[in-house]
Structure 1
Amino acid sequence: MEQKKHNDRTSNRFLTFYLEEEVYGVHISDVKEIIAMMKTTPVPKTPKFIQGVMNLRGNIIPVVDMRLKFDMPSIPAHMYTAIVIIKLGEKQIGFIVDKVEEVINVEEEHLSIPPEFGSHIDTRFIKNMAQYKQKVVMILDLLALFGEEELTMVQNLSKTASEA
């Protein structure tokens, strides 16, 4: 079933969002929902990019500030700030973004691999570059965005918080 999903019409559909002036995208099949910014509970001894955890309808979900994850300055939440709930395996993670844009459908010929910037710039978390209208959208590889150790830690936050 999962294989079919990536071969039909949904294969090149992405939810796009902004961080500063940059447009990023995630595969629509990885998105569970989009919610307005809500209060999070900080978790001690976690990396700075982890905002904390939130209780969403009884589920404890770790929340990542994507600005901090990408070494951008943090800004206070505003009217357009949103949390995109992403499914990674059996777990869910909330990504705080500046503004959710739209769901786009990108034809295969408008997707390309990211350019090489040399060994000092890490672009492993960018799966593709999509040309859409007059913009370039960086399609994120969610598993590569977090190292295995980080991903395990973030996913374990929901267990720890729900057991507390």
Structure 2
Amino acid sequence: MTMQGALRTEQNQARGAEFLTFTLAEETYGIDILRVQEIRGYDSVTRIANTPDFIKGVINLRGVIVPIVDLRLKFKVGQATYHEFTVVIIINVADKVVGMVVDGVSDVVALSEEQIKPAPEFGSALDTRYLTGLGTVNDDMLILIDIEKLVTSDEMQLMERLPEV
């Protein structure tokens, strides 16, 4: 993450922020709404050989080749089933456009600083490197994803080398 990105994340958390919430399996997650470009239904993708399972392929979105990542497979939660309710969230992060397959989009919620708590440390038992924290809305817990850290991670850099379709 760039110094400017880290500062922006800290500023958003200090003031609170708005998050697009979505579901993966039985859990609710949130990403910074300012990173969302659009929300689409899941459509067929062009598969690319020798990519990790979580990279489903690519789509041509108005002339831009967009890699499609299934977050259920990436985070190892739930089954990767595709039906009329499956959604792709198109995000724009770190000069990259990426599609994220999720079970469904829920809402946009505003969280104040007091509603956002740091992600707990679980040691090596659970990978929390892509979490910015946990939000609370009424009695519900919201898992907040650091989408910039996820998209710029080493394993996602494989998408940089995908051939043009």
Which residue of the partner structure matches residue 91 of structure 2?
Answer: 86
Cα distance, 1:115 vs structure 2: 1.2
Between 84-93 and 66-75, the greater mean CA deviation after superposition: 66-75
Q: Which of 98, 106, 111 is the aligned partner of 1:101?
A: 106
Cα distance, 1:97 vs structure 2: 0.3
Superposed CA RMSD: 2.6
Which residue of the partner structure matches residue 65 of structure 1?
Answer: 70
- Residue by residue over 1:29-52, the C-alpha shift from the partner in whole angstroms, topping out at 9 and shown as x without a partner, is 111110111110100000000000
- Asked if 1:16 corresponds to 2:21, the answer is yes
Q: Does the 8 Å contact 1:15/1:103 carry over to 2?
A: yes
Q: Which of 141, 145, 151 is the aligned partner of 1:140?
A: 145
Counterparts in 2 of 1:17 and 1:42: CA distance versus 1, 3 Å: same
Q: What is the number of residues matched between the two proteins? A: 160
Which structure 1 residue ranges, 4+ long, deviate > 2 Å from structure 2? 2-7, 72-76, 143-149
Counterparts in 2 of 1:73 and 1:105: CA distance versus 1, 3 Å: closer
Cα distance, 1:87 vs structure 2: 1.1
Structure 2 runs not aligned, ≥5 long: none
Counterparts in 2 of 1:11 and 1:106: CA distance versus 1, 3 Å: closer
Cα distance, 1:144 vs structure 2: 3.1
TM-score, L = length of structure 1 = 0.86
TM-score, L = length of structure 2 = 0.86
Between 70-79 and 127-136, the greater mean CA deviation after superposition: 70-79
- Asked if 1:111 corresponds to 2:116, the answer is yes
